[in-house]
Amino acid sequence: MIPSIEECEAILQKAGTPLITIEHGKKVAAMGRKIANSLNEKGMQLDVELIMAAGRLHDLAKGQPNHAQVGSDLLSALGYAELARLVAEHMDIEFEEDSILDESAVLHLADKLVKKDRIVTIHERFKPLLEKFPPDDPYLPTIKRRHLMARRIAKSVEQTIGSQLAEIVEGDL
């Protein structure tokens, strides 16, 4: 079961999600749709509606500790089990070079290509974070891992579609 746009908006409103986070979610949903449609044109069978709902709702609990899990728990309680799984995984995903692209991977990448409500490259998204923390900061390995996962997913998308990721988001950057 996948919530409609109106249901997504109601869930966000009920959760008290700030407008900037809602706008971010709309951009992530649109980016996820573009990526998924490009992959589906190459024969994949990704659930575009699921990706779009997850894009809209992935940060519904942003600002709370462990927001990905809190948001996932809220969606699970509403009966959206598959959507809850994607939201739970949107920040930290394991993706090896031989992994299969799925809805979670597309959501992860789409989220990393949107900073607030602006489309950015992976480099633009992570450069400030990588420079912000000193080498001994305990959070730096997490940032590096997320950066690596986003790059791996982007590379897999590019290999599958046979062109650069920038061509998918052309006009948005």
66 within a domain of the structure (yes/no): yes
29 within a domain of the structure (yes/no): yes
151 within a domain of the structure (yes/no): yes
113 within a domain of the structure (yes/no): yes
| DSSP letters for 46-78 | --HHHHHHHHHHTTTTTTSTTHHHHHHHHHHHT
pLDDT score of 164 more than 60: yes
Classify residue 101 by its DSSP letter.
P
CB contact burial 33-53 (16+ within 10 A = b; e otherwise): bbbbebbeeeebebbbebbbb
| Number of compact structural domains in the chain | 1
87 within a domain of the structure (yes/no): yes
Average pLDDT for 128-134: 91
CATH number of the domain residue 71 falls in? 1.10.3210
pLDDT, one tens digit per residue, over 71-87 is 999 999 999 999 999 99
pLDDT, one tens digit per residue, over 33-60 is 999 999 999 999 999 999 999 999 999 9
Domain boundaries, position 147: 5-168
pLDDT score of 98 more than 70: yes
173 within a domain of the structure (yes/no): no
149 within a domain of the structure (yes/no): yes
